[in-house]
Amino acid sequence: MEIRDDVRFKGINPFDKKIWLSSPTMHGEEQKWINDAFEKNWITTAGENINVIEKEVADYIGRKCAVALSCGTAALHLAIKLAAEKLYGMPKAGHGSLEGKKVFCSDMTFDATLNGVLYENGEPIFIDTEYDSWNMDPVALEKAFEMYPEVKLIVVAHLYGSPAKVEEIRKIADEHGALIIEDAAESFGATVNGVQTGCFGDYSIISFNGNKIITGSSGGMLLCDDEEDANKIRKWSTQSREEAPWYQHEELGYNYRMSNIIAGVVRGQLPHLEEHIANKMRIYERYKDGLKDLPIKMNPFLPNTEPNYWLSCLLIDKEAMCETVRGEKKAIYNFESGKSCPTEILEALSAFNTEGRPVWKPMHMQPLYRMHEFITSTGTGRARSNAYIKEKGMVDVGEDIFTRGLCLPSDNKMSVEQQNVIIDIICKCFS
Shared domain check, 261 and 336 = no
- How do strand 203-207 and strand 179-183 relate by DSSP bridges? parallel
pLDDT on residue 257:
98
Same domain for 118 and 16? no
Residues 99-141 pLDDT 10s: 999 999 999 999 999 999 999 999 999 999 999 999 999 999 9
Instruction: For residues 91 and 213, state if they share a domain.
Output: yes
81: nearest Cα among 257, 248, 243, 237:
237
| Range in 126-130, 244-248, 409-413 with the lowest mean pLDDT | 244-248
In this prediction, residue 6 carries a pLDDT of 40
Confidence of residue 14 (pLDDT cuts 50, 70, 90): low
Q: How confident is the model at residue 386 (pLDDT cuts 50, 70, 90)?
A: low
C-alpha atoms less than 13 angstroms from C-alpha of 117 in its C-beta half-sphere: 25
Contact 157, 164 (CB under 8 A): yes
Tell me, yes or no, whether 121 and 254 share the same domain.
yes
Statement: the pTM of the whole predicted model exceeds 0.85: yes
Asked if residue 17 and residue 144 are part of one domain, the reply reads no
- Interatomic CA distance for residues 102 and 122, integer angstroms: 6
The verdict on 113 and 229 lying in the same domain is: yes
CATH code for the domain of 377: 3.90.1150.10
What is the per-residue pLDDT for 10? 47
Residue type at 300? P
What pLDDT, on the 0 to 100 scale, is given for residue 7?
Answer: 40
Please identify, among 221, 249, 271, the residue that sits at the C-terminal boundary of a domain. Answer: 271
Domain termination residue (choose one: 245, 271, 297) = 271
Quote the number of domains for the chain.
2
Q: Which domain holds residue 387?
A: 5-24+273-429
Closest to 344 (Cα-Cα) out of 354, 357, 353, 335: 335
- How confident is the model at residue 184, as a pLDDT? 98
Which among 398, 192, 160 is positioned nearest to 303, based on CA atoms? 192
The verdict on 189 and 293 lying in the same domain is no
Other Cβ atoms within 10 Å of 404 Cβ, number: 20
The amino acid occupying position 65 is C
Q: Is 235 known to be catalytic?
A: no
pLDDT for res 166 = 98
Mean pLDDT of 348-360: 97
Determine whether 273 is exposed, middle or buried from the number of CB atoms within 10 Å of its CB (0-12, 13-18, 19+).
Answer: middle
Selected catalytic residue, list 81, 102, 212, 280: 212
Residues 385 and 408 grouped into a single domain: yes
**Residue 12 pLDDT > 60:** no
Residue 177: exposed, middle, or buried by beta-carbon count in 10 A (0-12, 13-18, 19+)? exposed
Q: How far apart are CA 191 and CA 181, in angstroms?
A: 17
When pLDDT is averaged across residues 129-155 and rounded to a whole number, the result is 97
- List the helix and strand counts (H, then E) for the chain: 13, 18
Residues 306-315, mean pLDDT to the nearest whole number? 98
Please give the sequence-ordered ranges of beta strands (E in DSSP) within 45-93, or none if there are none: 65-69
Q: Is residue 299 domain-shared with residue 364, that is, in the same domain?
A: yes
Same domain, yes or no: 184 and 93: yes
pLDDT reported for residue 182: 98
Query: What's the CATH number where 129 sits?
Result: 3.40.640.10
Mean pLDDT of the residues in the chain:
93
Whole-angstrom distance, CA of residue 303 vs CA of residue 317: 22
Q: Do 11 and 36 reside in the same domain of the chain?
A: no
Which of left, alpha, beta for 217 (phi over 0: left; psi -120 to 50: alpha)?
left
pLDDT in tens, 189-241: 999 999 999 999 999 999 999 999 999 999 999 999 999 999 999 999 999 99
Q: Indicate whether 226 and 351 sit together in one domain.
A: no
Burial 72-107 (b: 16+ CB within 10 A, else e): bbbbbbbbbbbbbeeebeebeeeebbbeebbbbbbb
DSSP output for 313-340 = EEEE-GGGBPPEEE-SS-EEE---TT-B
- Domain C-terminal end among 271, 300, 330: 271
Are 324 and 175 in contact by the 8 Å Cβ rule? The answer is no
3-class secondary structure, 390? helix
Q: State how beta strands 374-375 and 380-381 pair.
A: antiparallel
Evaluated on CA atoms 138, 140, 144, 149, the torsion sign reads positive
Residue 54 has pLDDT above 60, yes or no: yes
Tell me, what amino acid is at 51? N
